[in-house]
């Protein structure tokens, strides 16, 4: 890639900060979006998470801000508190060299404190649609000077029902404001807002092979629903990642999974939408610092999270659709680094894997765990067959010394309790074909009758009982002892 940061006309302070952070060349989405935004165009950009979208809009935003003016000039919206705080940290890093003041406005924090900080006249604010709309509706946030609105993870913002809030904010801005939407997908609500509010937007869309990173491996394991935790446990033990992000669909299952993984000896944290801001922030900090190995999360809570060098993503529940699969899987393999994504599905959910395979054009392959490896089913079957055949050949070479040459496999007789080829088992004290002698080729002595089917020895037939005896036994069944004794006495008198 021949582009340099200077070729976009970026301020030297911004370019130097990029180089100091070892970001030498722009990514494809950055190379396409930065010139369009600096040129003043509305932009609709679609690219997989982890390809550098945050800098693709932050660098032009910081470039456009006039630091000599104290008014608010740029607003960035994000669907979740975690993503907003993440953007805030990046904005502070790159805004500090050029003198840009940044503030966050997110739910879960004190509204009064945030309103007080607005008196410091920030140039750029980052927040969630609900909180910013709340403060703007109270008259504490003036929108008329904002000239650039950026919506990150726009598909999620509009899918979560924030369309009216975003449009209310747009109405409060100047008519010639600039709009940019960044997302991995483009659902219908997002398209409708683009048509209503954007003016000849430039569409930025990376190539298909960049949308799903090629360095990420995609697998799925099949098991019963009750075995999902055990399957995940075996998978994590097998791959032994430094950390892993585990997705579930229902918040109600968080506590159940957390208890089970904790019982298996893992250090586990949880991340979900109902948790308060302080807890969610502390959880992410511990996970990023490597103080816990597993992070259980729902889709909303983990939307857009940037976790450096995350090696493994596990779908304990399959994603509800292809878009969610893209966003979940985008937590690993970021910025060209390798990663692994594994879905754990039931037999009834296999069709979902086939659907994702076709819709996303990825190589989503089934795997089975066996002897410390992930095997393709056909490879595992061939390996087992080869192992069995090898065992048969070994047994056949010594079969003539231990068993008669009666056409049966030597493996059919393995001592006491072994399963015979006819379905019977050799029990202790019962002769098996391996113990037969030449004098008794069928396991019996001369003059005796053949044993009935299923028995190894014949028994003498018991004498037949008379009708009187059968009737007496029927009467005596359940009778008291004194009555039985009386009947026995009567029988003795009759016989005498």
pLDDT along the chain (496 residues), means of 10: 81 94 90 95 85 92 93 93 89 95 89 93 95 94 94 86 90 93 84 91 72 79 93 94 92 89 92 76 87 89 74 93 83 82 94 89 90 86 78 56 40 32 37 39 41 41 59 64 66 53
What is the distance between the alpha carbons of residues 41 and 101, in angstroms, rounded to a whole number?
24
What is the distance between the alpha carbons of residues 140 and 115, in angstroms, rounded to a whole number?
7
pLDDT value, residue 438: 38
Helices and strands, number each (H, E), in the chain: 19, 16
Count of CB atoms within 10 A of residue 194's CB? 17
Ordered DSSP codes for 122-170: -SEEEE-HHHHHHHHHTT-S--TT--EEEEETHHHHHHTT-HHHHHHHH
- Count the alpha carbons within 13 Å of 477 in the hemisphere toward its beta carbon: 6
Q: Contact at 8 Å (CB) between 188 and 119?
A: no
What is the distance between the alpha carbons of residues 71 and 139, in angstroms, rounded to a whole number?
15
pLDDT value, residue 452: 40
pLDDT value, residue 268: 94
82, 262, 271, 306 from 285: Cα distances, Å: 11, 19, 12, 12
Residues shown for the chain: 496
**Residues facing 349 on adjacent strands:** none
Q: Contact at 8 Å (CB) between 159 and 189?
A: yes
Q: Contact at 8 Å (CB) between 301 and 326?
A: no
pLDDT value, residue 49: 66
What is the distance between the alpha carbons of residues 57 and 32, in angstroms, rounded to a whole number?
11
User: Comparing C-alpha atoms, which of 361, 10, 105, 408 is closest to residue 218?
Assistant: 361
What is the distance between the alpha carbons of residues 381 and 375, in angstroms, rounded to a whole number?
9
Residue 6: helix, strand or coil by DSSP? helix
What is the distance between the alpha carbons of residues 173 and 112, in angstroms, rounded to a whole number?
23
Domains annotated for the chain, with CATH where assigned, are 5-207 (3.40.50.300), 212-378 (3.40.50.300)
pTM exceeds 0.85, yes or no? no
**Residues facing 205 on adjacent strands:** 46
pLDDT value, residue 342: 96
């Amino acid at each position: 890639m021949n582009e340099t940061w200077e070729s976009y006309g970026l301020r030297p302070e911004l370019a130097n900060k990029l180089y100091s952070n070892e970001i030498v060349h722009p990514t494809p989405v950055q190379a396409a979006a930065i010139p369009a935004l600096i040129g003043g165009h509305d932009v609709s950009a679609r690219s997989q998470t982890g390809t550098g979208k945050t800098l693709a809009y932050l660098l032009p935003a910081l470039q456009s801000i006039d630091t000599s003016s104290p008014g608010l000039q740029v607003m960035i919206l994000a669907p979740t508190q975690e993503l907003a705080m993440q953007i805030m940290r990046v904005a502070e890093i790159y805004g500090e060299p050029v003198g840009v003041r940044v503030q966050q406005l997110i739910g879960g924090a004190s509204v009064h404190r945030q309103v007080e900080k607005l008196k410091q006249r920030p140039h750029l604010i980052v927040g969630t649609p609900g909180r910013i709309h709340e403060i703007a509706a109270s008259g504490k946030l003036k929108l008329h000077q904002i000239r650039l609105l950026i919506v990150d993870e726009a598909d999620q913002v509009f899918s979560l029902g924030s369309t009216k809030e975003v449009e209310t904010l747009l109405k409060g801005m100047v008519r010639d404001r600039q709009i940019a939407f960044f997302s991995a997908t483009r659902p219908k609500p997002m398209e409708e807002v683009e048509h209503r509010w954007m003016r000849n937007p430039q569409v930025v869309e990376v190539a298909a092979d960049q949308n799903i990173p090629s360095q990420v491996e995609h697998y799925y394991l099949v098991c019963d629903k009750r075995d999902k935790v055990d399957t995940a446990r075996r998978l994590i033990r097998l791959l032994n990642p430094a950390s892993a992000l585990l997705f579930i669909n229902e918040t109600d299952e968080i506590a159940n999974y957390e208890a089970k993984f904790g019982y298996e000896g893992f250090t586990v944290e949880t991340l979900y939408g109902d948790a308060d801001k302080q807890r969610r922030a502390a959880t992410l900090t511990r996970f990023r610092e490597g103080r816990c190995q597993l992070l259980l999360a729902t889709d909303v809570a983990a939307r857009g999270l940037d976790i450096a060098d995350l090696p493994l993503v596990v779908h304990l529940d399959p994603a509800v659709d292809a878009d969610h699969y893209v966003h979940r899987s985008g937590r690993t393999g970021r910025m060209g680094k390798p990663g692994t994504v594994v879905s754990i599905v039931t037999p009834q959910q296999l069709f979902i894997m086939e659907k994702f395979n076709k819709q996303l054009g990825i190589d989503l392959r089934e795997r089975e765990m066996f002897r410390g490896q992930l095997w393709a089913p056909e490879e595992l079957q061939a390996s087992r067959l080869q192992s069995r055949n090898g065992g048969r050949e070994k047994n056949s070479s010594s079969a003539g010394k231990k068993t008669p040459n009666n056409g049966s496999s030597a493996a059919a007789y393995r001592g006491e309790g072994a399963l015979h080829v006819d379905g019977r088992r050799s029990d202790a004290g019962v002769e098996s074909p391996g113990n037969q002698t030449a004098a008794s080729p069928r396991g019996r002595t001369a003059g005796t009758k053949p044993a009935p089917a299923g028995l190894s020895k014949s028994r003498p037939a018991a004498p037949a009982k008379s009708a009187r005896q059968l009737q007496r036994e029927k009467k005596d069944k359940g009778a008291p002892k004194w009555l039985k004794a009386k009947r026995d006495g009567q029988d003795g008198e009759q016989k005498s």
